[in-house]
Amino acid sequence: EIVMTQSPATLSVSPGERATFSCRASQSVSSDLAWYQQKPGQAPRLLIYAASTRATGIPARFRGSGSGRDFTLTISSLQSEDFAVYHCQQYKHWPGTFGQGTKVEVK
C-alpha cells in the first residue's frame, strides 16, 4: 500500500498571503494525484486531479504541481473561504490512499 505523507500538518497563513504545502508518496504515482478541500462538518471537495488539472469551478488561485513522488498545492492569495483541511490522494496504485491532511489556519 502506498503511504502518502503531507507536510506540514498545520500551516498558519494570513488572508491574502500565499500558502504552499506538500504531499510525498512512498513510491512513484506518476501524475495520478488528487487534492481535496474539506471544511469542518462538510464532505471533501475535489480541487485538483492528474496532479495539476483543476476540477470544474475551482478558482485559478489553486495550483497543483509535481509528479512521481513529490507534489505541491499552492493557493496564491488566501481567501477567507480557503481556510480548511487539504487532503492529497494517489490513485495510481490500488488501493487509492490519502494523506493525513494539512490544516490551513488563520495566522
Partner 1 sequence: QVQLVQSGAEVKKPGASVKVSCKASVYTFTGHYIHWVRQAPGQGLEWMGWINPYTGDTLYAEMFLGRVTMTRDTYVSTAYMELSRLRLDDTATYYCARDYCSDKSCSVFHYWGQGTLVTVSS
Which residues form the interface with partner 1 (CB under 8 A)? 34, 36, 42-46, 49, 55, 87, 89, 91, 94-101
Q: How far is the CB of 65 from partner 1 (least distance, A)?
A: 17
Cα separations in angstroms, 64 against 23, 41, 106: 11, 25, 21
Output DSSP code: residue 84: S
Q: How far is the CB of 25 from partner 1 (least distance, A)?
A: 14
Nearer to partner 1, 18 or 39 (CB): 39
Q: How far is the CB of 36 from partner 1 (least distance, A)?
A: 7
Residue 10 burial (C-beta neighbours within 10 Å; 0-12, 13-18, 19+) = exposed
Nearer to partner 1, 14 or 57 (CB): 57
Residue with C-alpha cell 487534492? 35
